């Protein structure tokens, strides 16, 4: 009650920062989508597809997790008094 629910430009910058940090962590943990060292043309194609899926999924996951964390902190219920 009485909590301002509008987001400022600083809030948007913080949200973008949280998303970028989570995305960077996912990239580091997953070795930037490099699953193995490809040795044949087929494994090169599989690795490229895996890398695309990993990076795309990491981007979507980072947006979701970043928004979840940011909104949980920004709009948490504060104790009265």
Q: What's the average model confidence in pLDDT over 64-72?
A: 96
Residue 33's region, left for phi above 0, alpha for psi from -120 to 50, else beta, is left
pLDDT at position 3 is 60
E-state strands within the chain = none
* pTM, two decimal places: 0.83
Of residues 35 and 81, the one with the higher pLDDT is 35
DSSP 65-78: HHHHHHHHHHTPPP
| Residue count of the chain | 81
Q: Would you give the distance in Å from CA 55 to the centre of its chain?
A: 10
18-27 pLDDT, tens per residue? 999 999 999 9
């Amino acid at each position: 009650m009485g909590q301002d629910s509008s987001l400022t430009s600083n809030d948007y910058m913080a949200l973008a920062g949280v998303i970028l940090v989570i995305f960077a962590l996912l990239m580091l943990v997953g070795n930037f989508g490099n699953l193995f060292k490809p040795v044949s043309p087929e494994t090169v194609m599989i690795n490229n597809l895996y890398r695309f899926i990993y990076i795309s999924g990491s981007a979507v996951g980072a947006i979701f997790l970043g928004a979840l964390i940011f909104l949980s902190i920004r709009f948490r219920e504060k104790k009265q008094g």
